[in-house]
Amino acid sequence: MYINEDSKVVVQGITGRQGMFHTQLMLEYGTDIVAGVTPGKGGQEIYEVPVFNDVKEAIKETRADTSIIFVPARFTLSAAMESLNAGINMTCIITENVPVFDMIQLTEKAREKGLHLIGPNCPGMLIPDKIKLGIMPSDMCHYGDIAVISKSGTLSYEITKAIGNRGIGVSAYVGIGGDPVRGTTMKEAVAYYSKDSNTKVIVLIGEIGSDEEEKTAEFIKDNVSKPIIAYIAGKSAPKGKRMGHAGAIISGDFGTANGKIKALKEARALIANTPWEVPQLIKEIL
Amino acid sequence: MKSQIAIGSRKKAGLIKIAKSTSEAISLCKEYFNTDVAGFQVEAILIEELVTIQQEYYCSIALDASGRQFYLIASKEGGIDIEEVSKTTPDAILKESFSFQDGVSEALANDIACRLGFSGKQIDAASQIFLKLWNITLKLEAQLVEINPLVMTPSGLIAVDGKMILDDDTAFRQPLVEKLQERKLSDLEKLARVAGFSFVELSGEIGILANGAGLTMALLDVLSELGLHPANFLDVGGGASKERVYKALELIFKLHPKAVLVNIFGGITRCDIVARAIIQALEDFSDAPPMVIRLTGTNEKEGIALLKQANISAYQDVMEAVKKVKEVLNE
């Protein structure tokens, strides 16, 4: 989504432990990382990638058009603002624990400029065999025609790997993240892949909390004819207790696993009862 | 006399009452402090002067996270049944959205005040309250700031009760959040917070150590569908060190589960490190319950080989591991 094998990537926070580690893994995958940014560390090189002091300079020297952010939560607002202000087309925020008000400001800025954000607290995006913009395992699957859109990280690795193990290919893996305010919502990702000619089936991986799945189901009803398969985690979760993700707290009548499953069923989505049922459902549709 | 406790619907739970004398007030204090609602205790009591209520209103500013906007919400039918009102007569609730950038404008505040039926000087009084709600929202980076009820008394509008939802992730710049964070947690949950993983105590007999919130939840769902009961939710987090996994196991052992199920999908997390922590924990805790391990992903071969050397059986398939747990419990 908004990225392809020609995307030129700048890694913000490339000199940090996570930034450096995942730069190496993304380079091994074949991602075209053209620059890194760490304020005050311009002039260095990380795995032969030149480091700049800011995103503008990186764009000027390398024509970067895509960014991935690994900076700590308290610096994420300024790092992502810098990326948006420099005109980067897609900014992917891996960082977790980013304050909600920071994300509100960033999403408003992105909309104003017509640019794209994904995350925070997300594994990023993968177009198998083409580009990896994120921290997901590299060996889950090969290229094909199933789009996987997920709120959860590890759970989506499990499902995507199970899909890959059955010899089914993936057109895009999109980890939208588990935080309440997202750069890309589940509905927006579904809207994109419902029009993507390389995608035949969309797999949604949701979990308790927020009303993303309900809003997505509402959208699917009137706008999507492609088959949708969904798995929702948290059916057994106790009410009112947090299960790790800020978004995963049940409030009011929406946000429960059963509510989401009901809404998705009404939108004619097929529901997988366990994560490991997803590949079987795909096989049946294909 | 209002109990200060981290739950809603306090009046219905008998935690807001009127005392007509000092002795009544003292006995209410005793009653409140001995009350336990869903595991929460009364931490303090707010004592206020009784006011004459002519009309109860509701007002709040709430973040619509998935819509990336805010709502100013108000109703003439405030009080304890506002949830009921929103279901049965949604028209009685006024709701206007606005962006972060725009905030609550005077025009919006005045409009809501008029539509609530205020007139003359009351319009200004009410709209000032709405503007202040937005100031609080901004200052505290709150996801909800609510006054319920806002009451009309012979001497004007008074906020009789309020509620806020703050953002845990702002603790580094919001001292109030930092101070409040510890309060809702059980002792073991506090230990987990210090160690850096998410942990929720549940009431079953199977200890759970997994990675990833979604994957852990999916595992709990599978177990409960098979009639098995987890003792906890524990997401050890990404890239866990040997020490962190060891601490997590130590914490799970404190719950005295009948068995422990470990489910790791290694991405940033390395299976060999997890295996080493398990071996160490089993050496140190002679009374540890039976363990069933599932490892897959980064360095799974190394991890499984290490466990085999130590005579601990490990699985690559989740459902096989779950079956094994069931067997262990039946033994």
Q: What is the mean pLDDT of chain B?
A: 90
Q: Is residue A129 part of a domain?
A: no
3-state helix, strand, coil in chain B (%, to 5): 40, 25, 35
> Which positions 186-225 of A are in contact with B (Cβ < 8 Å)?
205, 207-208, 210-212, 215
Q: Mapping DSSP to helix (H, G, I), strand (E, B) and coil, where does residue B78 land?
A: coil
Cβ neighbours around B136 below 10 Å, total: 13
Measured distance CA(A239)–CA(A251) in Å, rounded:
8
Give pLDDT tens digits for A175-224: 999 898 999 999 999 999 999 999 999 999 999 888 899 999 999 999 99
This prediction has a pTM of 0.90
B153 touches chain A (CB under 8 A): no
Question: Which one of B146, B246, B300, B315 is the catalytic residue?
Answer: B146
Q: Is residue A251 part of a domain?
A: yes
Q: What is the mean pLDDT of residues A6-15?
A: 98
Interchain CB distance below 8 Å, B214 and A207:
yes
Give pLDDT tens digits for A274-284: 999 999 999 99
Confidence of residue B270 (pLDDT cuts 50, 70, 90): confident
A158, A138, A232: which is closest to B211 by C-alpha? A158
Q: Which letter, b or e, does each residue of B102-130 get, where b requires 16 or more Cβ atoms within 10 Å of its Cβ? A: ebbeeebbbbbbeebebeeebbeebbebb
Both A80 and A167 in a single domain? no
pLDDT at A245 over 50: no
Domain-ending residue, one of A67, A89, A118: A118
Q: Which residues of B touch A151 (CB under 8 A)?
A: 214
pLDDT of residue B85: 74
Q: Is residue A20 part of a domain?
A: yes
B100 with B61: CB under 8 angstroms? no
Among B68, B214, B319, beta carbon nearest to A233: B214
Q: Is residue A205 part of a domain?
A: yes
Q: Based on the structure, what is the number of domains in chain A?
A: 2
For residue A77, what is the domain's CATH number?
Answer: 3.40.50.720
B158, B165, B114: which is closest to B140 by C-alpha? B165
Torsion of CA A253, A254, A257, A263, to 10 degrees: 110
Phi, psi of B281 (to 5 degrees): -65, -40
Q: Strand B162-165 vs strand B144-153: parallel, antiparallel, or unpaired?
A: antiparallel
pLDDT at B22 over 80: yes
Which residue range forms the structural domain that includes residue A30? 9-118
Q: What is the mean pLDDT of residues A85-100?
A: 96
**Of A8-12, A195-199, B146-150, where does mean pLDDT reach its minimum?**
B146-150
Measured distance CA(A206)–CA(A249) in Å, rounded:
13
Instruction: Please give the helix or strand (H or E) that residue B74 lies within, else none.
Output: strand B69-75
For residue A232, what is the domain's CATH number?
Answer: 3.40.50.261
Both A254 and A153 in a single domain? yes
Residue B58 annotated among the catalytic residues of the structure: yes
Domain-ending residue, one of A118, A149, A178: A118
> Which positions 56-95 of B are in contact with A (Cβ < 8 Å)?
63, 65-66, 68, 83, 87
Measured distance CA(B193)–CA(A13) in Å, rounded:
26
- The minimum CA-CA distance between A264 and chain B, rounded to whole Å, is 17
Confidence of residue B84 (pLDDT cuts 50, 70, 90): confident
Both A39 and A165 in a single domain? no
pLDDT at A246 over 50: no
Measured distance CA(B247)–CA(A49) in Å, rounded:
38
Q: Which residues of A touch B227 (CB under 8 A)?
A: none
Interchain CB distance below 8 Å, A108 and B170:
no
Give the CA diameter of chain B.
83
Q: What is the mean pLDDT of chain A?
A: 93
B204 touches chain A (CB under 8 A): no
Confidence of residue B190 (pLDDT cuts 50, 70, 90): confident
Measured distance CA(B28)–CA(A10) in Å, rounded:
63
Both A215 and A262 in a single domain? yes
pLDDT at A243 over 60: no
Domain-ending residue, one of A54, A87, A118: A118
Both A90 and A143 in a single domain? no
Nearest CA in chain B to A212: B66
Both A104 and A194 in a single domain? no
Q: Is residue A18 part of a domain?
A: yes
Measured distance CA(A164)–CA(A77) in Å, rounded:
36
Q: Is residue A2 part of a domain?
A: no
Measured distance CA(A103)–CA(A109) in Å, rounded:
10
Both A100 and A143 in a single domain? no
Q: Is residue A126 part of a domain?
A: no
Q: What is the mean pLDDT of residues A142-164?
A: 95
pLDDT at A115 over 50: yes
Both A145 and A189 in a single domain? yes
Q: What is the mean pLDDT of residues B307-331?
A: 91
Both A143 and A101 in a single domain? no
pLDDT of residue B92: 84
Q: Mind listing the domains of chain B with CATH numbers?
A: 2-46 (no CATH), 55-170 (3.30.470.20), 185-330 (3.40.50.261)
pLDDT of residue A123: 94
A101 touches chain B (CB under 8 A): yes
A29 with A220: CB under 8 angstroms? no
Both A172 and A253 in a single domain? yes
**Of B22-36, B41-55, B186-200, B221-235, where does mean pLDDT reach its minimum?**
B186-200
Q: What is the mean pLDDT of residues A65-90?
A: 98
Q: Is residue A99 part of a domain?
A: yes
Nearest CA in chain A to B67: A181
pLDDT of residue B13: 84
Confidence of residue A251 (pLDDT cuts 50, 70, 90): very low
Q: Which residues of B touch A239 (CB under 8 A)?
A: none
Both A267 and A178 in a single domain? yes
B266 with B295: CB under 8 angstroms? yes
Both A147 and A111 in a single domain? no
pLDDT at A248 over 50: no
